[in-house]
Amino acid sequence: MEGFEGCPGSKMMTFKGQKDRNTEQAVGKVLSQLSQWPIQMHLISPSAPYYQNADVLLTADCVAYALGGFHRDYLENRSIAIACPKLDSGQEIYLEKIKAWFDEARINTLTVLIMQVPCCTGLLNLAQQAAQAASRKVPIKYIVVGVQGEILQEEWAAA
């Protein structure tokens, strides 16, 4: 939207007709890879059995909508929690829950999936703060997703 100023996370855009025709299209019914409930960060218990020794995804709310292959490429064989670092309140509880994943659930890895908008880095910061506070170290990967579903960055965070 021309002349728009303000938060990039709220900037209006349209992608209609801009899709890559060569990209593989899913055919038929796509199987959900979700293997647990609940998933919202306020509702989950970090001590739930599906987090024990798991490879956990901490995903910003918008990611699963932007990333076309989210279930197949990221959710399969993973446990998940979702959150919005811009809009959610009470995020100090998130910090404690992530720390409990590290120390109590003894998760194997944590992958933080965020959108490219600046406010989304808050979720990665939260994970790194929890990692600093935890007594047990776990590798953290972060993946930055573009608003059209492209992977902009995929890195292991410094321990």
Partner 1 sequence: MDENSDILKVMHEDHTHARGLVKAMLDALERRDQKTIAENLMAYRDLLTEHIRKEDEILYPWMDNQLSTRQVGELFAKFAEAEQQMGFSPDKYKHLIDQLEIKFEKRRIEDGRI
What one-character DSSP code corresponds to residue 116? S
Least CB distance from residue 43 to partner 1, whole Å? 25
Build a one-symbol-per-residue string for 124-153: x at contacts with partner 1 by CB under 8 A, - elsewhere: ------------xxxx-x------------
Least CB distance from residue 100 to partner 1, whole Å? 17
Nearer to partner 1, 126 or 138 (CB): 138
Q: Is 71 in the site for partner 1 (CB under 8 A)?
A: no
Least CB distance from residue 98 to partner 1, whole Å? 15
In three state form, how does the secondary structure of 61-121 look?
A: CCHHHHCCCHHHHHHCCCEEEEECCCCCCCHHHHHHHHHHHHHCCCCCEEEEEEECCHHHH
> Degrees (nearest 5) of the Cα angle 59, 34, 120?
10
Least CB distance from residue 108 to partner 1, whole Å? 3
For residues 142 and 125, the answer to whether their CB atoms sit within 8 Å is: no
Build a one-symbol-per-residue string for 74-113: x at contacts with partner 1 by CB under 8 A, - elsewhere: ---x-----------------------------xxx-x--
Nearer to partner 1, 19 or 136 (CB): 136
| C-beta neighbour count of 76 within 10 angstroms | 12
- CB-hemisphere CA count at 13 Å for 3? 0
Nearer to partner 1, 47 or 108 (CB): 108
**Residue numbers of the site for partner 1 (CB under 8 A)?**
55, 77, 107-109, 111, 136-139, 141, 156
